[in-house]
Amino acid sequence: MPGGKPSQEMLDLLNQAIAREMQVAIQYMWQHVLWRGVKGFAVKDELKAIAIAEMKHAEAIAERLNYLGGIPTTKPTTINVGNTLKEMIEQDKKDEEGAIVLYKQIIAQARTEKDEVTDLLFQKILTDEEEHHDVFTTLLEEI
């Protein structure tokens, strides 16, 4: 590794991120499938678009982890689809909050290790997660 070896902590953080991205990709996809009612109709396309964005995040992080010498996990963290639309979007908002906290931690760790590319990658992903968080927060006001 020309820029120096990543710490085990960094590799573990990236795998935590991948596990979460796979979780929400599947969670939002099933919510997109299981929607019901007029309000569900209004949010289903957004859930689909965000599910696809999360899958792309998982792949981008896995590519970075692979380059850094880690092995990407295949196990998502616990998927919580929810029973009602309100339950679903409340859970999704919480998961975006968790992602934001974790990704700020990864950015801080990347800066400690002078890993500019991981830093930049997570700045981009963090921008998306804040957008998702904003979408779910706004939707919750109407559900």
Question: 21 vs 115, which CB is nearer to Fe ion?
Answer: 21
* Residues 63 and 92 sit within 8 Å (Cβ to Cβ): no
- H or E, element range at 63: helix 37-67
* Residues 140 and 85 sit within 8 Å (Cβ to Cβ): no
Question: 3 vs 101, which CB is nearer to Fe ion?
Answer: 101
Nearest 10 degrees: CA dihedral of 132, 138, 141, 143?
-60
* Residues 61 and 99 sit within 8 Å (Cβ to Cβ): no
Q: How far is the CB of 123 from Fe ion (least distance, A)?
A: 13
Q: How far is the CB of 40 from Fe ion (least distance, A)?
A: 19
Q: How far is the CB of 99 from Fe ion (least distance, A)?
A: 6
- Amino acid 140 reads L
- H or E, element range at 11: helix 8-34
Footprint on this chain of Fe ion (rule: CB under 5 A): 21, 54, 57, 129, 132
Question: 2 vs 59, which CB is nearer to Fe ion?
Answer: 59
Question: 64 vs 132, which CB is nearer to Fe ion?
Answer: 132
Q: How far is the CB of 42 from Fe ion (least distance, A)?
A: 19
